[in-house]
Amino acid sequence: MPAGQTMQERTDSMSEQKQSQTTGLPAGIQVPDTMAIIMDGNGRWAKKRGLPRTAGHKKGADTIHTIGLEANRLGVKKLILYAFSTENWKRPEDEVGYLCKLPGLFFDRYIRDLMNNNIRVTFAGELGRFPDSTQKVIRRAVEQTEDNTGLELCIAINYGARRELLLAAQKYAEDVRNGRENNVTEEEFSKYLFVPEEVDLLIRTSGEERISNFLLWQLAYSELIFTPTAWPDFDESSLRECITEYNHRERRFGGVKA
């Protein structure tokens, strides 16, 4: 034992070294419980390579698989991925059509991996506007994985944060009309949202630096990281770099650190 080092300090040091070897993260790094990613850059990635935008979305779906497995391995509890916004319906018809088919392609290919890795699938948003086939695929994935206890992989699909807040307010108002006392706390109100948890870390890929109507309530005290890497090129090392950067931030939640 090095001079001046207590048994507890030696134990802590060995534990940190073991964590580093296991996760690939620097020793002592804290992995955020809840993360969110705006998966941006599929179209630009494809255009740069002379490919149709749909090729970028296909490669981006493969990245969901890669990052989902890595987040699960690192011990993230919930990962929320912005897959399709309420504004994405404005895109060209053929691109929207492909995006509607993509959940089927993704889960047909990767559902076994998700099951084998104990990953639970959920969704945030309104499925009703999608074709029945798309809705069935997503609901089936949710049902198949509902007993898994690892990472919660939440797909935000036909999701918009303003719409989420509006629907939550309407649900709360309905409960008040039905006899609930009008004294809701912030914690109680969050349960009316698609995503009740606060987000520790938000990552946006491909260089844009805006929130784009995503998780406005949940991001109140999140750390934000904007990376120039396009989503199809975002890999396990990219995720670990973002988590390491997150650990360099000082989170005070409006207070003053002593």
The string of DSSP codes covering 204-237 is E-TT--S--SS-TTTTTT-EEEE-SS-GGG--HH
85 assigned ligand-binding residue: yes
Is 51 buried (19+), middle (13-18) or exposed (0-12) by CB count in 10 A?
A: middle
20 assigned ligand-binding residue: no
45 assigned ligand-binding residue: yes
148 assigned ligand-binding residue: no
129 assigned ligand-binding residue: no
Active-site annotation holder among 40, 72, 158, 200: 40
252 assigned ligand-binding residue: no
Distance CA 134, CA 128 (A): 10
Active-site annotation holder among 12, 33, 88, 213: 88
The question of whether 40 is a catalytic residue gets the answer yes
**Distance separating the N- and C-terminal Cα atoms of the chain:** 33
Distance CA 155, CA 122 (A): 6
238 assigned ligand-binding residue: no
146 assigned ligand-binding residue: no
Pairing type for strands 201-204 and 152-159 reads unpaired
Q: How far is CA 77 from the centre of its chain?
A: 10
The question of whether 88 is a catalytic residue gets the answer yes
111 assigned ligand-binding residue: no
- Residues marked as catalytic: 40, 88
> Which residue numbers belong to the known binding site for substrate?
41-45, 53, 57, 85-87, 89, 91, 204, 210-212
Per the annotation, binding residues are 40-45, 53, 57, 85-87, 89, 91, 204, 210-212, 223
Could you list the residues known to form a binding site for Mg(2+), using ranges.
40, 223
